Each structure stands twice: as C-alpha cells, then as structure tokens.
Structure 1
Amino acid sequence: MDAVDPKLRSFYSHSYAGLDVKGDRLIIYRKPDAALDAFVRGQIDDVDVEFRDAPYSLDELEQLTERVRADWHYWATRRFPLRMVIPRLDGTGVNASSPPTTPMRHGQSSGSVTATSRSSWTAPARTGIVPAR
C-alpha cells in the first residue's frame, strides 16, 4: 500500500486526492478517473480497495495550500500564526494549525475560517477556502 501513494501522486495528481487505511481496507479518494482505478487494481490485488469521490484533486489542493501559506502574514495578524498547512486526504480542502501556545478564544473567526479552541481550523470544500474554478 505504501508503494502506491507515490505513484498516484506522480502520475495521477490531476485526479488523485489521497488515501487512508481503515482496518484491512484501503480507501482511495479521487475525482472519478477510470485510468486511476485500473492502475490501482493492477498494483494491488491482495487488499480490499474502496474508491471514494473527492471534490478536489491533489493538484488543486496543493495550489490552495500554497495560497494559504503565502498569506501567512494575514493569518498572523489575526492571531493565527500558521504552523502547518496540508491538503486533506479526502480531497475536501486543507487543514491548517497554529502553535498550541497561540491564545485563541473558542469560536474566534476571521472571514469564512473559524479557529477552534484547539488552535486549528479546517477549510472544508463547502464553507472555507477552496480552489478557484
């Protein structure tokens, strides 16, 4: 299973979003792509694979990740200094976090992004920052 992720990132990043392991099942998140599905089935024959649709591909989410990182000053001035920004494995947006020492009030918000008391926020596809179409 570990060998298929780098190949999907290299050859299918236009439709591939990520993968997850649930018990003995491998879940592949991707925009519908018959070639990707066939590739995975050809690479893995001894594991139960489930394909799930994702609204955004890894390519789109990497661009969004870079846009959020480029706005580090904006987030810092809103008391949310970025520590980490990464694409969500399910292809729905990006996750970002700030250092745990950042003082945040529960429910503090800025624009369409809400910071929680855990000093992290999620930008889901329907309510947060998403790739421009």
Structure 2
Amino acid sequence: MKDHANTDVRTAEPRRLGYSVRGLANWILDHAETVGYRHTNMGINKLVYFAVEAFLVERNVLLTNAKMEAWEHGPVFRELYQSFKSYGNGFIGGRAKSFSTASEEFEEAKIHLPPKKKPS
C-alpha cells in the first residue's frame, strides 16, 4: 500500500498523535449522545479499538499510546475499563476523568482536535 508521497506505509514508522484514550472515548460518547446512541463499557472499548486500528491501517497514524489488551470478549484499554467499570454491563452515564496537574483535581478527559478545514 502506498501513501500520497508514494512511500510504503507498512514499513514507515507511524505518526504518533498521543491522544488520551480517555479523551478519545469521551469524544465518541459525546458524539454518540448527539445522535441518540449509548454505549456500554465493552462497547466503548471496542469502538476506540476500531478507531485506533482504522487510523493506523488507513493513514499510518497512531491515535494513542495507550496499551490494548486481548480479553475474552474483545479488545480492552485497561484505563477505559477502569474508568467505566462502575456502570457494570449497563450504559455509560458519565465521562472518563484524568488528573490535571494544573488544577490538581480530576477533570473530564478531552482531546483537542485541529479545526476542520473549510472547503475551498
């Protein structure tokens, strides 16, 4: 597979964005909520996994440095599982939090995406 620069993307080192896996999950949960969907802990873990995999395979971009684990029922990011385990098998009713060194408090994890380009 070749990218736009005509280099073999399978052998090139992926570009690493280093997004927080909790922030990615919260972004997906926020978007899902706007279209009327809700997710379980295992569901959000799988969706984040699919997003990470799609960006890596299709764009050679690694969205997060978080480690994935192979569990019996599918891929899991331990950080996400721990963040949402209080919901059990039910729908997630909150957002993942991360510790902020600036405020010295736990805050809702976010990712800061670049603004969308306007069509020319």
TM-score band by shorter chain is: under 0.3
TM-score, length basis structure 2? 0.24
Structure with higher helix content:
2
TM-score, length basis structure 1? 0.23
